[in-house]
Amino acid sequence: MLRIWALKSYNYFANDVNISTKIEQIKDQIESNFIPNTTGEKYHERTYNDLKLVNFMPCSFSPAGYKTPFDAFAHSLALLLNIGAQDFQEAIIQHAEKTRTETKLGILPAFWPPITETDADWNLLKNNFKYEFRNYPNEFHNGGSWPMVNGFYGLALLNKKQVKVAKTLLSAINNANAKEDFSFYENFNTETTAVNGVPFCTWSAAATVLLTQGITTNFKLLI
pLDDT digit string (tens) for 47-62? 999 988 889 999 999 8
Question: Pairing relation of β-strands 111-112 and 187-188?
Answer: unpaired
Q: What is the rounded (10 degree) CA torsion for 122, 123, 127, 128?
A: -60
- Own/partner long-range contacts of 61-68 (Cβ < 8 Å, ≥24 apart): 61/33, 67/121
Q: What residue ranges define each of the domains in the chain, with the CATH number in brackets?
A: 67-216 (1.50.10.10)
Residue 130 pLDDT > 80? no
* pLDDT score for 223: 64
* pLDDT score for 205: 97
For 22, 108, 116, 177, the CA distances from 27, given in Å and listed in that order, are 9, 25, 33, 35
Compute how many other C-beta atoms are within 10 angstroms of the C-beta atom of residue 162.
Answer: 18
pLDDT band at 149 (very low <50, low <70, confident <90, very high): very high
Q: Report the candidate in 69, 84, 209 with the shortest Cα–Cα distance to residue 152.
A: 209
Cα angle 62, 66, 68 (rounded to 5 degrees) comes to 140
Between CA 84 and CA 30 the distance in angstroms is 9
Full-model pTM: 0.95
Distance of CA 56 to the CA centre of its chain: 11
Summarize pLDDT for 28-44 with one digit per residue, the tens: 999 999 998 898 999 99
Q: Where are the beta strands (DSSP E) in 38-141?
A: 60-62, 65-67, 70-71, 111-112
Beta bridge partner(s), residue 60: 67
End-to-end CA distance of the chain: 14
Between CA 182 and CA 179 the distance in angstroms is 5
Task: Pick the range with the lowest mean pLDDT from 15-24, 31-40, 126-135, 180-189.
Answer: 126-135
Who contacts 50 (Cβ-Cβ below 8 Å, separation ≥6)?
65, 66
